[in-house]
């Protein structure tokens, strides 16, 4: 039964007043606005607290540095990371694969954008994160083995490697000598492996055009965390004969030098010239293949000469340190390293990529 409702909200029968529909809607709207206002005030207080808590981190100052009052208050637990180790953490990546992937993508993008792949004969150029394995010595009786972090190859050609890659998740200064040894070993094993190719063209794959002094050259590109390097290796025919098992110069250590100085750095030929005299033996070793010298008794007096070497100078014969004139760099693998190119510097990256493009064009140019 329908009931009539008067303007003041009561029924004809004198029942309880009823709230009209629009009044109920207004009441709900007021409640919603009140709730939103409460939430807004709550978020505002949180934002103020967050901004107040945003203060630059302060590292405890070591003894003798800065103001003592600037140090943070002591905590209940020992600090896991000291300020010095925090610096090292900022100079390394969490995973080497991150650095490897970054270098591969940079080189792939550069090759595609440069248009090198549109040139006849270079359509198959590709950078791949292939763990290419190279060996020094005959198959089944190799002296050492090295694996790369990536290669440049020509897919439409014989498929031989044109350049190799090596990455590290930390900056080079942390383990510079070990990195240089590894890169020299990779280059030596790459050269040794290519010498076993059946044809002359395949043996020349990945070799830059011969320099004016008759040296051969190959490319190694490396990235150590956020720094890039280009290494051009050089060697002569005497070094190839040595890798095949021919005679080699062995330099005994100097009496006045330390063991670390005797090992030397493979990046420069000058480091090889800090030895005393030269004698001869046959057959390669893992150390000498990378341009280092094998230790022999320091009492060796006479200096023997052979193909590709120079007679010791007067100063060397009198027991003094030899100089670069006493050695022929054609017998050694010389690693010429250029860099570092910082990924944080636009100018560095531009120069690096231009050099890479030029090297790709040269190494992929067929020999005449």
Helices (H), 245-313: 259-263
How many angstroms separate the CA atoms of 198 and 118, rounded? 30
pLDDT of residue 101: 94
Give the CA distances from residue 329 to residues 26, 309, 359, in Å, rounded to whole numbers and listed in that order. Answer: 94, 9, 23
Q: Percent of the chain, pLDDT > 90?
A: 29
Could you read off the pLDDT of 124-166 as tens digits, one per residue? 899 999 888 898 877 677 888 999 999 998 876 556 789 999 9
Helices 346-363 and 96-114, packing angle to 10 deg: 70
How many angstroms separate the CA atoms of 54 and 28, rounded? 39
Predicted confidence (pLDDT) at residue 167 exceeds the cutoff of 90: yes
pLDDT of residue 226: 92
How many angstroms separate the CA atoms of 242 and 265, rounded? 20
Is pTM beyond 0.75? Reply is no
pLDDT of residue 246: 63
Residues 6+ apart with CB under 8 A from 21: none
The band of 327, judged by pLDDT with boundaries at 50, 70 and 90, is low
Predicted confidence (pLDDT) at residue 16 exceeds the cutoff of 60: no
By mean pLDDT, which of 56-70, 298-312, 328-342 is the weakest? 298-312
Contact 309, 331 (CB under 8 A): yes
pLDDT of residue 224: 94
Between residues 264 and 200, the one the model is more confident about: 200
pLDDT of residue 105: 96
pLDDT of residue 3: 52
pLDDT of residue 154: 83
Q: Percent of the chain, pLDDT > 70?
A: 54
At residue 158, φ and ψ (nearest 5 deg) are -60, -15
Predicted confidence (pLDDT) at residue 6 exceeds the cutoff of 80: no
The band of 359, judged by pLDDT with boundaries at 50, 70 and 90, is very high
pLDDT of residue 46: 56
Between residues 44 and 263, the one the model is more confident about: 44
By mean pLDDT, which of 42-56, 242-256, 257-271, 278-292 is the weakest? 257-271
pLDDT of residue 265: 35
């Amino acid at each position: 039964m329908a009931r009539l409702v008067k303007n003041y909200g009561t029924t004809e029968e004198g029942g309880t007043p009823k709230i009209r529909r629009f009044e109920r809607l207004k009441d709900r709207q007021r409640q919603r606005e009140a709730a939103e206002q409460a939430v807004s005030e709550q978020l505002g207080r949180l934002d103020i607290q967050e901004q107040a808590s945003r203060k630059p981190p302060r590292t405890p100052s070591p003894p003798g540095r800065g103001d003592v009052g600037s140090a943070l208050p002591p905590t209940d637990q020992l600090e896991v990371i000291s300020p010095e180790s925090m610096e090292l953490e900022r100079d390394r990546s969490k995973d080497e694969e991150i650095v490897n992937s970054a270098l591969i993508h940079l080189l792939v993008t550069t090759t595609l954008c440069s248009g090198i792949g549109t040139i006849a004969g270079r359509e198959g150029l590709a950078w791949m994160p292939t763990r290419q394995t190279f060996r020094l010595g005959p198959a089944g009786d190799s002296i050492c083995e090295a694996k790369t972090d990536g290669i440049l190859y020509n897919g439409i050609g014989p498929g031989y490697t044109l350049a190799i890659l090596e990455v590290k998740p930390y900056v080079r200064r942390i383990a510079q000598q070990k990195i240089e040894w590894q890169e020299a070993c990779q280059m030596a094993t790459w050269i040794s492996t290519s010498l076993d190719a059946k044809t002359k063209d395949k043996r020349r794959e990945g070799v830059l055009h011969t320099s004016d002094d008759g040296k051969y050259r190959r490319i190694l590109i490396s990235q150590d965390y956020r720094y890039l390097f280009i290494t051009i290796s050089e060697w002569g025919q005497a070094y190839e004969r040595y890798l095949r098992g021919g005679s080699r110069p062995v330099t005994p250590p100097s009496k006045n030098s330390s063991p670390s100085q005797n090992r030397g750095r493979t990046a420069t030929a000058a480091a090889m010239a800090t030895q005393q005299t030269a004698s001869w033996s046959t057959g390669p070793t893992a150390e000498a293949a990378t341009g280092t010298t094998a230790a022999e008794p320091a009492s060796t007096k006479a200096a023997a000469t052979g193909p590709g070497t120079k007679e010791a100078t007067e100063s060397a014969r009198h027991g003094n340190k030899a100089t670069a004139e006493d050695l022929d760099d054609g017998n050694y693998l010389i690693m010429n390293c250029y860099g570092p190119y910082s990924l944080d510097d636009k100018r560095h990256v531009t120069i690096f990529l231009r050099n890479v493009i030029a090297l790709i064009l040269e190494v992929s140019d067929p020999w005449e």
